[in-house]
């Protein structure tokens, strides 16, 4: 407790101080944006009373630099169903936020799911979930959009609706409630969340989002709005349309890149300026859902990346710039891009998602900003046979060549990513992970860290037909690698978490009941280790009579999947063919080197946008 | 050239931690495009020193930081920087300092004010002055002695009001 020396007390200057006090203690933002009556004032007034009592209050205050306060006829709130620290790093929200706020008829605000302490305080103090721009309760918006980036966040979505006083089931909502829409990769299997969503946007949102806002604006009532939404390409409205093709933009227009990126006060997961250098991936890794559903590849040119990056850094003041893509080292102009971006003084570059080969190390050396303490490569599997099954496209020589080059260039720590439970995996494949870790350690690294995840087959991939190993088997396989702990720090993701993720990702409409009960039972933030309670999930699966063995089991081309009506552009036949090639260990080449016949380009009348090809 | 900049941090920004405040200031300064001096080393950072850290939740009307640059800075710089700042952060004075100025040695202490919404019951010797519907207690703390935290004394608001320097700067 502070002890105050009474002799230091003074009342002088208090009188003139008062007028300034009123100004400095008042929250100005709410006055400016209180354009719909007094409700915003109440949210903010109550909010101020509780921020002193919660952990990291800065994650709840909004009012960030570059956030947009705009009056508009149509108001949308984008919600990332996780903590602010995670959600603020998500690039998709930045893109749509920017596009909507530059439109002449709509505004976009943001919200996130508060942590438990804040949720309790909000409920106790009658504060509904609110937007971070105008402190408007989310149920006052015309549209509320959720991004579904990972399945474990499904209960979070329902909690956000509960905190926002929006009925979670679509059948319970009426004309006074917002239209609830979801997008993101998980939306490609809409079934588990169908009970709760009015509509899903599948694929690229840059053009579709404006059409969605217009449809909702023009709709005279809820039914009419949903009917209009169902006519938009890429939008699935349950009960209104029964087949949907993903939305695709042929090219990434420069004006779609968000420049004035909102700056968080609190430290977030990826606290840096972001430029998306490429969308889609041509590698054809068979386990990768993003690589399948975001085809084809669309690269930005090196000069455009430079110009946009310059504007982003100027607008934000960020000291780090991240080049975003699914596989940055594959960008045809990556070397030129990096040398252009090195012109930015006092700015470091980060290039995540690179491949496990020597070029990755060369890139890291070229940007010269990766701390020599750590480099990351992802072999994914321990044997070449299994890497061929998953079509990873890298050899043992690539991996050890990259490690050798890394150590020659001063890296002392290396991080490796692997998966167990991949299709056709045998014990030798698993043990080889340990052998690879041992060999890399013996190359002279001070520290080797290996993260080993349990493979979860995803919808719209060639492995959607494959079984997922159950936790008991996963624990057995983990024991086969445990001996390698003397060479590396081994981190295993919890196999029970993988099982739950598998159920949520490949389940059907029946999973909606599980999600609903999970939220009621407080199984939110399930992806956070400290909040993960697998036994409660298993009880829910039992209660709802979910046949886990069947759901996780082997399927074939005749299986009716809950997502069959969603057309990603890649036919089920192609996925089945890729599945069979996987079983026989046959590789499929990178489609930059020739079409592999997946069908996306002809269906949408597009082609890969490869900048080096354009220059030719 | 070394400059000290005086700033206020109020409204919702009182909920920033000291670390968050420092990062926000650095990014505001980077947005001005003024070539401030950087630290040396692998990860260059802006050479930036702050006064005493404040607990989260305290309104700061006496914040200062020290920066170095070869560029001449004046009130125009403040206008530019304030235009690039979020609501609730305001730089209101800039002073050019001698090269040997040291922020830690220059600050003698701070004046704090505690705002109460009802008459506080105070220890002997404390003075609370009533203004309309509020009571204010003012006191000074020596540099680097603990700052009052929100609700330490049942106060409604806590303000760091003034920085006190040692003699002439």
| Spatial separation of the C-alpha atoms in residues A359 and B148, rounded to whole Å | 54
In this prediction, residue A518 carries a pLDDT of 97
Nearest to A433 by CA among A377, A507, A511, A380: A380
Q: What crossing angle do the helices spanning A334-341 and A302-316 adopt, rounded to 10°?
A: 30
Cβ contact A261:A66 at 8 Å: yes
Interval B38-48: pLDDT, tens: 987 767 789 99
Could you say which of B24, B61, B115 has the minimum Cβ distance to residue A265?
B24
Q: What is the pTM of this model?
A: 0.93
Per residue in A265-320, pLDDT tens?
A: 999 999 999 999 999 999 999 999 999 999 999 999 999 999 999 999 999 999 99
Spatial contact of A434 and A483, defined as CB atoms under 8 Å apart? yes
Q: Which helix (H) or strand (E) holds A539?
A: helix A534-543
CA distance A106 to chain B (A): 23
d(CA B159, CA A25): 9
Helix (H, G, I), strand (E, B) or coil at B104: helix
Give the mean model confidence (pLDDT) for residues B19-37: 96
Length reported for chain B:
169
Q: For the CA atoms of chain A, what is the radius of gyration? A: 25
- Structure confidence by residue, pLDDT tens digits, A508-532: 999 999 999 999 999 999 988 888 9
- Taking contacts as CB-CB distances below 8 angstroms, the residues of chain B near A371 are 42-43
* Chain B residues inside the 8 Å CB shell of A321: none
**How would you classify residue B41: left for phi > 0, otherwise alpha for psi between -120 and 50, otherwise beta?**
left
Q: Which residue of A13, A14, A130, A374 is the best one to mutate when testing the B interface, meaning the one whose CB has the most B CBs within 10 A?
A: A14
What average pLDDT does the segment A588-610 reach? 94
Tell whether the model's pLDDT for residue B57 goes beyond 90. yes
How far does B115 lie from chain A, in Å, by closest CA?
A: 10
Q: What is the DSSP string of A43-72?
A: HHHHHHHHHTTSSSGGGG----BT------
Q: Give the model's pLDDT for residue A616.
A: 79
Return d(Cα A258, Cα A274) in angstroms, integer: 9
Query: Which residues of B are less than 8 Å from A9 in CB distance?
Result: 125-127, 137-139
Read off the pLDDT band of A22 (50, 70, 90).
low
What is the C-alpha end-to-end distance of chain B, expressed in Å?
Answer: 15
ipTM strictly over 0.90?
yes
Structure tokens at A183: 């997008």
Distance CA A215, CA A226 (A): 8
Q: Which residues of A touch B17 (CB under 8 A)?
A: 56, 58
Query: At which residue do the structure tokens 């903010």 appear?
Result: A44
* Contact predicate B63/B9, CB 8 Å: yes
Contacts of B59 in chain A (CB under 8 A): 24-25
Model confidence pLDDT, tens digit, residues A96-131: 999 999 999 999 999 999 999 999 999 999 999 999
pLDDT, one tens digit per residue, over B129-163 is: 999 889 999 999 999 999 999 988 889 999 999 99
- Nearest C-alpha of chain B: how many angstroms from A529? 26
pLDDT at A32 over 50: no
| Total beta-carbon pairs less than 8 A apart between chain A and chain B | 145
Which CA distances in Å does A159 have to A89, A184, A523, A591? 21, 19, 10, 42
CA distance A308 to chain B (A): 15
Of A288, A338, A245, A278, the closest CA to residue A592 belongs to A278
Q: Can you tell me the distance from the alpha carbon of B113 to that of B116, in angstroms, rounded to the nearest whole number?
A: 10
**Per residue in A413-438, pLDDT tens?**
899 999 999 999 999 999 999 999 99
- Judge whether A602 and A231 are in contact, CB under 8 Å: no
* Best mutation target, B6, B7, B9, B15, to test chain A (most A CBs within 10 A): B15
Is there a contact between A51 and B57 if contact means CB atoms under 8 Å apart?
Answer: yes
For B127, which of A9, A18, A23 is closest by C-beta distance?
A: A9
Give the residues across from A273 on adjacent strands: A321
The two structure tokens encoding residue B38: 């950087």
According to the model, what pLDDT value does residue B126 have? 81
Query: Is A58 close to B17, i.e. CB distance below 8 A?
Result: yes
**Burial class of residue A280, CB neighbours in 10 A (0-12, 13-18, 19+):** buried
Short-list B108, B111, B127, B109, CA closest to B119: B127
Distance of CA A579 to the CA centre of its chain: 26
Nearest CA in chain A to B27: A317
CB contact under 8 A, A61 and B129: no
Note whether A52 contacts B111, CB cutoff 8 Å. no
The number of residues in chain A equals 616
pLDDT at B168: 55
Whether A21 sits inside 8 A of B139 (CB atoms) is: no
Percent of chain A past pLDDT 90, that is, above it, reads: 80
Look over chain A and give the mean of its residue pLDDT values, rounded to a whole number. Answer: 91
Residue A88 to residues A75, A186, A270: CA-CA distances in angstroms? 20, 19, 8
pLDDT confidence tier of residue A34, bands split at 50, 70 and 90: very low
Cα distance between the two ends of chain A:
72
Q: Are A464 and A506 in contact (CB under 8 A)?
A: yes
């Amino acid at each position: 407790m502070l002890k105050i020396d009474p002799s230091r007390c003074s009342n002088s200057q208090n009188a003139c101080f008062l007028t300034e006090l009123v100004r400095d203690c008042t929250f100005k933002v709410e006055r400016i944006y209180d354009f719909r009556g007094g409700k915003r004032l109440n949210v903010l007034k109550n909010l101020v009373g509780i921020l002193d009592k919660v952990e990291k209050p800065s994650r709840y205050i909004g009012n960030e630099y570059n956030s947009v306060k705009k009056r508009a006829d149509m108001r949308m709130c984008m919600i990332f169903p996780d903590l602010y620290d995670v959600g603020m790093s998500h690039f998709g929200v930045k893109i749509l936020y920017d596009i909507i706020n530059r439109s002449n008829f709509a505004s976009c605000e943001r919200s996130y799911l508060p942590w438990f302490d804040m949720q309790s305080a909000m409920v106790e103090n009658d504060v509904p979930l609110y937007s971070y721009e105008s402190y408007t309760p989310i149920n006052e918006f015309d549209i509320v959009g959720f991004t579904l980036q990972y399945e474990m966040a499904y209960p979070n979505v329902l909690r956000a609706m509960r905190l926002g006083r929006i009925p979670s089931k679509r059948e319970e909502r009426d004309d006074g409630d917002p239209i609830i829409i979801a997008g993101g990769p998980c939306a490609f299997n809409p079934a588990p969340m169908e009970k709760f969503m009015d509509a899903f946007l599948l694929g690229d949102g840059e053009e579709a989002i404006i059409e969605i806002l217009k449809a909702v604006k023009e709709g005279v009532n809820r039914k009419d709005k949903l009917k209009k939404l169902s006519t938009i390409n890429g939008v699935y409205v349950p009960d209104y349309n029964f087949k949907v093709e993903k939305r695709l933009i042929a090219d990434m227009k420069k004006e779609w890149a968000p420049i004035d990126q909102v700056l968080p006060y609190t430290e977030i997961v990826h606290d840096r300026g972001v430029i998306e250098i490429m969308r889609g991936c041509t590698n054809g890794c068979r386990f990768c859902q993003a690589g399948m559903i975001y085809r084809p590849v669309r690269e930005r040119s090196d000069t455009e990346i430079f110009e946009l990056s310059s504007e982003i850094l100027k607008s934000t003041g960020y000291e780090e710039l991240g080049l975003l893509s699914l596989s940055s080292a594959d960008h045809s102009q990556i070397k030129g891009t990096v040398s252009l971006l090195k012109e930015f003084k006092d700015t470091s570059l980060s290039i995540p998602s690179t491949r496990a080969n020597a070029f990755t190390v060369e890139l890291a050396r070229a940007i010269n900003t990766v701390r020599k303490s750590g480099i990351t490569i992802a072999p994914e599997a321990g044997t070449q046979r299994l890497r061929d099954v998953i079509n990873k496209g890298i050899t043992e020589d690539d991996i050890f060549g990259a490690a050798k080059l890394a150590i020659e260039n001063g890296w002392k720590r290396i991080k490796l990513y692997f998966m167990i439970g991949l299709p056709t995996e045998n014990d030798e494949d698993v043990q080889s992970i340990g052998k690879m870790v041992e060999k890399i350690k013996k190359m002279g690294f001070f520290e080797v860290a290996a993260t080993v995840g349990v493979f979860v087959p995803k919808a719209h991939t060639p492995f959607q037909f494959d079984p997922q190993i159950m936790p008991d088997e996963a624990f057995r396989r983990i024991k086969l690698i445990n001996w390698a702990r003397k060479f590396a720090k081994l981190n295993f993701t919890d196999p029970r978490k993988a099982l739950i993720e598998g159920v949520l990702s490949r389940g059907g409409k029946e999973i909606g009941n599980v999600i609903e009960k999970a939220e009621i039972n407080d199984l939110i933030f399930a992806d956070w280790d400290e909040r993960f309670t697998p036994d409660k999930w298993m009880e829910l699966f039992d209660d709802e009579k979910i046949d886990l063995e069947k759901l996780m089991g082997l399927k074939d081309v005749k299986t009716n999947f809950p997502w069959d009506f969603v057309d990603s552009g890649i036919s089920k036949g192609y996925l089945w063919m890729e599945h069979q090639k996987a079983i026989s260990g046959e590789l499929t080449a990178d489609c930059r080197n020739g079409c592999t016949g997946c069908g996306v380009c002809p269906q949408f009348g597009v082609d890969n946008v490869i900048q080096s090809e354009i220059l030719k | 050239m070394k400059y000290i900049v005086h700033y206020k941090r109020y409204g919702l920004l009182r909920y920033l931690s000291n670390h968050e405040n420092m990062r926000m200031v650095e990014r505001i300064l980077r947005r001005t495009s003024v070539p401030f001096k950087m630290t040396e080393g692998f990860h260059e950072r802006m050479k930036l020193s702050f006064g005493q850290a404040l607990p989260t939740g305290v309104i700061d009307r006496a914040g200062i930081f020290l920066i170095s640059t070869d560029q001449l800075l004046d009130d125009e710089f403040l206008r530019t920087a304030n235009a690039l700042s979020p609501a609730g952060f305001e730089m209101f004075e800039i002073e050019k300092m001698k090269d040997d100025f040291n922020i830690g040695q220059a600050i003698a202490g701070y004046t704090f004010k505690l705002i109460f919404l009802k008459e506080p019951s105070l220890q002997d010797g404390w003075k609370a002055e009533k203004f309309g519907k509020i009571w204010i207690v003012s006191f000074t703390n020596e540099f680097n002695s603990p700052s009052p935290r929100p609700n330490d004394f049942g106060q409604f608001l806590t303000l760091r009001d003034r920085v006190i320097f040692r003699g002439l700067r």
